[in-house]
Amino acid sequence: MTLFDLSGRTAIVTGANTGIGRAIAVGLAQAGADIVAVGRSAMTETEAEVRAAGRGFLALAADLSEAGAAGDVVARALAAGARPDILVNNAGIIRRADTLDFTEDDWDAVLDTDLKSVFFLCQAFARAAIAAERRAKIVNIASLLSFQGGIRVPSYTAAKSGLAGLTKLMANEWAARGINVNAIAPGYVETNNTVALRADPERNADILKRIPAGRWARPDDMVGAAIFLAAPASDYVHGTILPVDGGWLAR
């Protein structure tokens, strides 16, 4: 057994059109996995990189904020002939406003996408894996705000704190059934979700002062952790929230 070889495996990766999701999809493909990419927009560049790695690629368009969409993803993948045994829940959105001014619409939008859809996608994926008697790996993308409160992102903090709890709960229930459930907690990453922070000179400077590594993360900084949690190397790892944060939490 090669500890980090994903040959013969198939991974569903949500939010695979850009940022962390795209980097992880390509990284898993380079480690040997075929990719089922889920996103709201075209994933042309992701597909090109996955196919350049010699792996299969299936694109599924889905808006995971819509009721029932998450559960349908696994059914659609199976109907297309895929047999997924890795799930990476990366898709997510963020809304920023002072807590005193935060709206119910912004609360619901983030919770529906970042927490509710993840639960029901995990549920559908686990049902299929257990029915097929297939070992499987779930990797959720959590956040530093799974550990901390943050500011001006109440629904995002609630969702990512909840996701950490669900990761542990699902690990407790499914570990003995051959499914590993773990999460990666990225630090501050150069993605679309952090454009506003990086454009704010004061906030950007404050963030950089706190990061021992001295820089923002790049999306591909998350790939090694994702491969580890998807590969045989992590077969006895269950319910872990793995920070990949340049040392932020250690500070």
Residue 247 belongs to some domain of the structure: no
Residue 67 belongs to some domain of the structure: yes
Question: pLDDT grade, residue 150 (50/70/90)?
Answer: very high
CATH number for 87: 3.40.50.720
Catalytic residues: 156
Domain span including residue 18: 10-241
Residue 122's pLDDT is what?
98
Query: Which single residue is written with the structure tokens 């047999």?
Result: 83
Q: Report the distance separating Cα 97 and Cα 78, nearest Å.
A: 40
Percent of the chain at pLDDT exceeding 90: 95
Q: Report the distance separating Cα 138 and Cα 157, nearest Å.
A: 21
Residue 251 belongs to some domain of the structure: no
Residue 1 belongs to some domain of the structure: no
Residue 45 belongs to some domain of the structure: yes
Domain count, the chain: 1
Residue 134 belongs to some domain of the structure: yes
- At 212-245, the pLDDT tens digits run 999 999 999 999 999 999 999 999 999 999 999 9
Three-state SS annotation for the chain: CCCCCCCCCEEEEECCCCHHHHHHHHHHHHCCCEEEEEECCCCHHHHHHHHHCCCCEEEEECCCCCCCHHHHHHHHHHHCCCCCCEEEECCCCCCCCCHHHCCHHHHHHHHHHHHHHHHHHHHHHHHHHHHCCCCEEEEEECCHHHCCCCCCCHHHHHHHHHHHHHHHHHHHHHHHHCEEEEEEEECCECCHHHHHHHHCHHHHHHHHHHCCCCCCECHHHHHHHHHHHHCHHHCCCCCCEEEECCCHHHC
Tell me which amino acid residue 215 is.
Answer: R
Residue 52 belongs to some domain of the structure: yes
Residue 86 belongs to some domain of the structure: yes
- At 40-74, the pLDDT tens digits run 999 999 999 999 999 999 999 999 999 899 989 99
